[in-house]
Amino acid sequence: MRNKFIEFRNVSFRYSDEEPWVLKNCSFEIYENEWIAIIGHNGSGKSTIAKLMNGLLFPQEGEIIINGQQVNEETIWDIRRDVGMVFQNPDNQFVGTTVQDDVAFGMENRGFPRAEMVKRIEQNLTAVGMQEYRLTEPHRLSGGQKQRVAIASVLAISPKVLILDEATAMLDPKGRMEIMRTVSNVQEEYKLSLITITHDLQEVVQAERVLVMNKGEIWDEATPREIFAKKEALREIGLDVPFVAILTDELKQAGISITNEPLNQEELLEDLWTLHSRT
Amino acid sequence: MSSSLIIGQYVPGNSIVHRLDPRTKITVIFFFVFIVFFANSVFSYATLTVFALTTVFITRIPIRYIMKGLTPVWFLIVFTFILHLIVTKEGTVLFHIFGFNIYSGALIQGFAISMRFFLLILVTSLLTLTTTPIEITDAIEDMLHPLKKIKFPVHELALMMSISLRFIPTLMQETEKISRAQASRGVDFKTGPLKERIKAVVPLLVPLFVSAFKRAEELAMAMEARGYQGGEGRSKLRELKIEKIDIAVYLLFALAVAIVFYTRN
């Protein structure tokens, strides 16, 4: 049994008293070294969860326990050391005037000695494949490259949880692939929990567990394969169903039996070409 | 477009002058500006000129490039020269031109003052030519450090400067994007009377400001998420270090100053 790292206990949140609840009585757990995806339509409360985990917002009701500590004004600086976060807009989270200055920013805030910073800059930029760009200015980088730098910057302080809050939403397909590849490498290389927040079902396939959010509530919690099987329901709460899942559905309707719910083209292909030998 | 994004007039290079500690450069230039006003003999001017020109030579920045940077100032130098030529009435009359008597003293005075001007501007421009804006920011933060005692927000000022430097290219790219978007909607930035053209800037500025504020808000949140809590207990990656070469430069400059004071009338 893995240890709980983050725990939400009956958490409710709203931005002000007049406004409706953004999160309604949410309870869930995230374990050490787990990859969890949180998915939901715009306004489903998924980004609010990320900000609550980092102490950028505080819940009105319920409590959030991270690594045995309750999130409040006194503990946020400890918690922010454990919980690293990458945001949506690649430009608006790049603080340094060059790549290495940006990676150093988080470490400078924590008073790391210079020699340690130099070592960690090298190590983390290599992990995201950006070591050649150490002295490059941000406006000469693509969106995907900037997001990779942002990931390196967060990893530099060795957090125990990495949250990607729609980190691929503003990127082109190429940048998106870049980030997803980087993220899965990082997940293997570093021992950390990974929380990817997205509205794109395609990005949840690598996760171990998926939380589906709808209107501030946890709508479902399951493995990606189980989620993919619920196409109609997903469409009802405003999520785009991936092409592979739609195709699988059509094939099934046409009388072709596909046993396992395929997550990507390769798996579907595997199923199809072995079809004859099975029947 | 990328060439227009170079901030200031920094010329990349790897000369001794480029590698000097920015604090050394600022200090020497600051005192040089004072010393120039003390020079009043041929020899003292010569010393300062040799000092300035040697520095220029060491930077390996093409002279032509530096002179181009001084273009707006040439007018001022020439103007000063002519003014002195006309106004000063010392020494013997050398010749007569356009109804003015030109005195020998005036010629000398004109040369001296123009030279002073030229040296001042040449040396101060060397700072921005050989130092990146971020190095200057670091140096200012370090040199203003004592002001912290009277609660002057030194760290905040430096952070503001470095974030501005970071966002200048981003906002310039954005301005270009918005102006294209507005042009495609029929806003005319280039023709028409001045009043109309100024009016056309409004649909450019409003979205730019809106987005700048949004950026600021997101940036603040990202900085906080990465543990920023003000200047207390922060360490720095970019390190300023006084090397032997800096000390050598200080000594050389002190020597030049000594010569100026020794040779002045």
Bridge partners of A25, per DSSP, are none
Please check whether residues B92 and B169 belong to one and the same domain. no
Residues B8 and B125 placed together within one structural domain of the fold: yes
Q: Does A113 touch chain B (CB under 8 A)?
A: yes
Residue B254 is assigned to a structural domain of this protein = yes
The pLDDT, as a whole number, for residue B5 is 39
**CA pair distance A174, A176, nearest whole angstrom:** 5
Q: Is the pLDDT of residue B18 over 90?
A: no
- Pick from A173, A167, A234, A178: which is nearest to A201 by CA? A234
Please check the confidence at residue B19 and state whether its pLDDT lies above 50: yes
Q: Are A124 and A103 in contact (CB under 8 A)?
A: yes
B146 part of a folded domain: no
ipTM over 0.90: no
DSSP B151-174: T--HHHHHHHHHHHHHHHHHHHHH
Residue B250 located in a structural domain: yes
The reply to whether A68 touches chain B by the CB within 8 Å rule is no
Helix (H, G, I), strand (E, B) or coil at A263: coil
Residues B126 and B249 in one domain: yes
Residues in chain A where the model's pLDDT stays below 50: none
Chain A residues within an 8 Å CB radius of B163? 95
Q: H helices within chain A, ranges in order?
A: 46-53, 76-82, 99-109, 114-127, 143-155, 173-189, 224-228, 231-236, 243-253, 265-273, 275-278
- Shared domain check, B166 and B50: no
User: Given this model, what pLDDT does residue B94 score?
Assistant: 75
Residues paired with A37 in a beta bridge: A196, A210
Put simply, the answer to whether B219 touches A157 (Cβ < 8 Å) is no
Select the residue of B5, B227, B228 nearest A81 (Cβ to Cβ).
B227
Q: Inter-axis angle of helices B133-143 and B154-184, to 10 degrees?
A: 150
Closest Cα in chain B, distance from residue A279 (Å): 55
All residues at 6 or more sequence positions from A277 whose CB lies less than 8 Å from its CB, including other chains: none
CA nearest neighbour of A3 among A41, A30, A36:
A30
Give contacts of A85 with chain B, Cβ < 8 Å. 222, 225
User: Percent of chain B at pLDDT above 90?
Assistant: 13
Closest residue of chain B to A106, computed from CA coordinates: B226
**Residue B221: pLDDT over 70:** yes
Cα gap B143→B23, rounded to integer Å: 7
Asked if B55 and B118 sit in the same domain, the reply is yes
**Residue ranges of domains in chain A, CATH in brackets:** 4-231 (3.40.50.300), 242-279 (no CATH)
Query: What is the number of residues in chain B?
Result: 265
> Between helices B42-59 and B22-36, what is the axis angle to 10°?
160
Residue A279 confidence (pLDDT): 62
Q: What is the pLDDT confidence band of residue B29, given thresholds at 50, 70 and 90?
A: very high
B100 with B20, same domain: the answer is yes
Q: Which residues pair with A40 in a beta bridge?
A: A213
Residue B234, SS3 per DSSP: coil
Tokens encoding A20: 């409706």
At B182 the pLDDT is 87
In a domain, B258, yes or no: yes
Question: Do B197 and B105 share a structural domain?
Answer: no
Q: What are phi and psi of A19, to 5 degrees?
A: -85, 160
Q: Does B233 lie at the interface with A, CB-CB under 8 angstroms?
A: yes
Q: What pLDDT is stored for residue A30 in this prediction? A: 92
What total of structural domains would you count in chain B? 2
Closest Cα partner for B249 from B28, B83, B56? B28
Nearest CA in chain B to A88: B218
Do B64 and B190 lie in one domain? The reply is: no
Q: Above 70 in pLDDT, residue B7?
A: no
Collect all residues of chain A within an 8 Å Cβ-Cβ radius of residue B224. Answer: 56, 80
Given a cut of 90, whether residue B60 has pLDDT beyond it is no
Is residue B214 in some structural domain? yes
Chain B residue with CA closest to A137: the answer is: B166
Residue tagged 């270090």 (tokens): B241
B1 pLDDT band, cuts 50/70/90, is very low
- E strand or H helix at B198, and its extent? helix B194-225
Give the mean pLDDT of B16-30.
Answer: 89
Cα radius of gyration (chain B): 24
pLDDT in tens, B173-193: 899 999 899 889 888 777 778
Distance from the Cα of residue B48 to its chain's centroid: 19
**pTM higher than 0.95, yes or no?**
no
Please state, in angstroms and rounded to a whole number, the distance separating the CA atoms of residues A71 and B200.
50
- Residue-wise pLDDT for A76-91, tens only, equals 888 998 999 999 999 9
B235:A111 CB<8 A:
yes
One domain, residues B159 and B220:
yes
Question: What was the pLDDT predicted at A278?
Answer: 65
Query: In this structure, are B67 and B160 located in the same domain?
Result: no
Amino acid in position A278: R
State both tokens at A58: 């505080």
Give how far B29 is from chain A: nearest CA, Å. 26
Q: Note down the domain range covering B6.
A: 2-131+241-263
Task: Give the model's pLDDT for residue B3.
Answer: 37
Measure CB to CB from residue A105 to each of B2, B169, B226 and give the nearest one.
Answer: B226
Q: Is residue B143 included in any domain, yes or no?
A: no
Q: Is residue B142 part of a domain?
A: no
Backbone φ and ψ for A11, nearest 5 degrees, come out as -85, 130
- The dihedral formed by the CA atoms of B248, B254, B257 and B261, expressed in degrees to the nearest 10: -140
A167-196 residues touching B, CB cutoff 8 A: none
Q: Is the dihedral of CA A274, A275, A276, A278 positive or negative?
A: positive
Residue B55 burial (CB count, 10 A): 23
Buried b (16+ CB within 10 A) or exposed e, A87-106: bbbbbbbbbbbbbbbbbbbb
Tell me the average pLDDT across B141-154.
Answer: 88
Contact, A95 vs B163, CB < 8 A?
yes
What is the C-alpha to C-alpha distance for residues A128 and A139, in angstroms, rounded to an integer? Answer: 19
CA distances from B121 to B60, B124, B126 (A): 18, 5, 9
**CB–CB contact A85 B225 (8 Å):** yes
Q: Are A46 and A111 in contact (CB under 8 A)?
A: no
Cβ–Cβ contact A87 with B under 8 A: yes
Looking at the fold, whether B84 and B14 belong to one and the same domain comes out as yes
Asked if residue B110 is part of any domain, the answer here is yes
Pairing of strands A217-222, A35-40: unpaired
Same structural domain, B7 and B101: yes
